[in-house]
Amino acid sequence: MGVKMKYYKVILLLLIGLLNSPIFSQVETLEDCFSRKSNSDLKSLSKKQHREPVDGRFYSQGVNMPAAGMAWQSSFRSFKDVSKIRPKDKQKEKDWVSETCGYSAYAAHDNYIGTMWCEGAPGVGIGEVVMGLADLKDKNYFYILPGRQSKRKFFESYSRPLDIDVHYLVPMEVGTTQSSGKVFSEVLYWSKQSVKLSKDPGHQKIEIQPYKEIMKSIQGNRNIDHPFVMVAIEIKSVIEGKENKEHTCISAIGNSDSEEEYKKATLRD
């Protein structure tokens, strides 16, 4: 009996391990953006002091969890006419989850000119915040693409930031997930930089003023597998759009593309 009991216990442990493995992870319910709130605490960044902790763990777009983008914004504009009912079909459910996240912060992380984050607050979004990610390895700059791009009629229709405050947040722990995405934790507030953006279309380069100090602070940190800084853009004033002035948008924040790519035209007409 003792041998049989040990045998059954081994089988049971193997079954438990299989159920918890990635093979069965697809049956887990993906979180949607109707069920999760944006990170309103980002609107308090201007009150923080140098090296003051910023609560939360932040996941890059590569983790394939659309709702995780809610942590990177103080508000967002959802798509119109998205059903509140979760589909039962798995593929339709996956598409629906992405649709619930609308114009969320991850749309400013993907380097596509045709996608964008738009704030979802009343008015033109003064004080709203969206974060991007900048790779610090051999790069002391990042780019921002204000407004809705791809066509001039879109660029002129939607509002876009003019004056911004750039808040630099430094993650003291940077790890890689099984899906090759990044997770950022132990985040510290670093400093603020005020910038007036150009009124013209196209990517705009912003030099990271505290670059040397940030790199010095993380040098030799074994909890950081790659140097990054989280770039929080706070809207201080806007250029109002002609038709959709109540929606202020940003199409891209980051520096993962080549500088040649960022110099290309962003309007097709």
Among 16-20, 32-36, 91-95, 135-139, name the one with the lowest average pLDDT.
16-20
Read off the pTM. 0.87
Question: Does residue 174 register a pLDDT over 50?
Answer: yes
pLDDT for the residue numbered 179: 85
Place of tokens 């777009």: 61
- Of the two residues 95 and 25, the one the predictor is more confident about is 95
Question: Does residue 3 register a pLDDT over 60?
Answer: no
The average pLDDT across 114-126 equals 96
What amino acid occupies position 113?
A: I
The answer to whether residues 205 and 33 touch, using CB atoms and an 8 Å cutoff, is no
Per-residue model confidence as pLDDT tens digits over 18-65: 444 443 344 457 899 999 999 999 999 999 999 999 999 999 998 989
pLDDT for the residue numbered 20: 47
- Of the two residues 6 and 113, the one the predictor is more confident about is 113
Q: Predicted confidence band at 4 (pLDDT cuts at 50, 70, 90)?
A: low
3-class DSSP string for 88-116 = CCHHHHHHHHHHHCCECHHHHCCCCCCCC
Q: Predicted confidence band at 213 (pLDDT cuts at 50, 70, 90)?
A: very high
The pLDDT mean for the chain works out to 91
pLDDT for the residue numbered 23: 36
Which 3 state secondary structure label does DSSP give 260? helix
- Cβ contacts of 148 within 8 Å, gap of 6 or more: 116, 118, 154, 155, 157, 158, 160, 249, 251
The average pLDDT across 78-90 equals 92
